[in-house]
Amino acid sequence: MTGWDIFTIFCAIFLGSSGFILLFVFLRDAYRDRMVSKKNVK
């Protein structure tokens, strides 16, 4: 395994987790906003 392989794996882990984390935070924020707006309507 060369340095290029390790760099590729590192980038893949970083990019993949960025995708998951941003999607998770986005969905969490969207859910919270929806709850808050529902409360306000009540």
Partner 1 sequence: MSNFVANIDYLIIFLYLTMLVSIGFYAYKRDSSYEDFILAGRGMTTPMLISTMVSTYYGLDILFGSSEMAFNDGLMAFFGYALSTLVFYLFIAFYMADKLRSANFISLPEILEKAYGRKTSSIGAVSSMVYCLPTTSLFALGRVSEFVFGIDAHYGAFILGGIALAYTLLGGLKAVAITDTIQFSLMCITVAVGVPLLVYEVGGFISIQQSVPTGHFKLFGTVPPWLLIAYASSSLAVLIDPSLYQRIFAARNARQARNAILTSTVIWTTFDWLVVAGGIAALAAVTSGILSSDVHPNDAFLIAVTYALPIGLSGIFLAGVLATAMSTIDGYTLVAGSNISYDMYRPLIKPDATDADLVRVTKIGIVIAWTLGYVVAFQFDRIMALLIFVTTVITSTVFVPVLMALFHRGRKTTLSGLLSCGAGLASVLTFYIGMSQIGDYNELWGTYIFSFSVGGYDFSIWQEYALFFCLPMSLLGFFIGNIFGTKFIEAPLSGEAT
Q: What is the dihedral of CA 33, 35, 38, 42, to 10 degrees?
A: -130
Least distance in Å: CB of 23 to partner 1? 4
Q: Which is nearer to partner 1, 12 or 35 (CB)?
A: 12
Q: What angle do CA 6, 25, 14 make, to 5 degrees?
A: 5
With binding defined as CB under 8 A, does residue 40 bind partner 1? Answer: no
9 binds partner 1 (CB under 8 A): yes
Residue with Cβ nearer partner 1 (9 or 36):
9
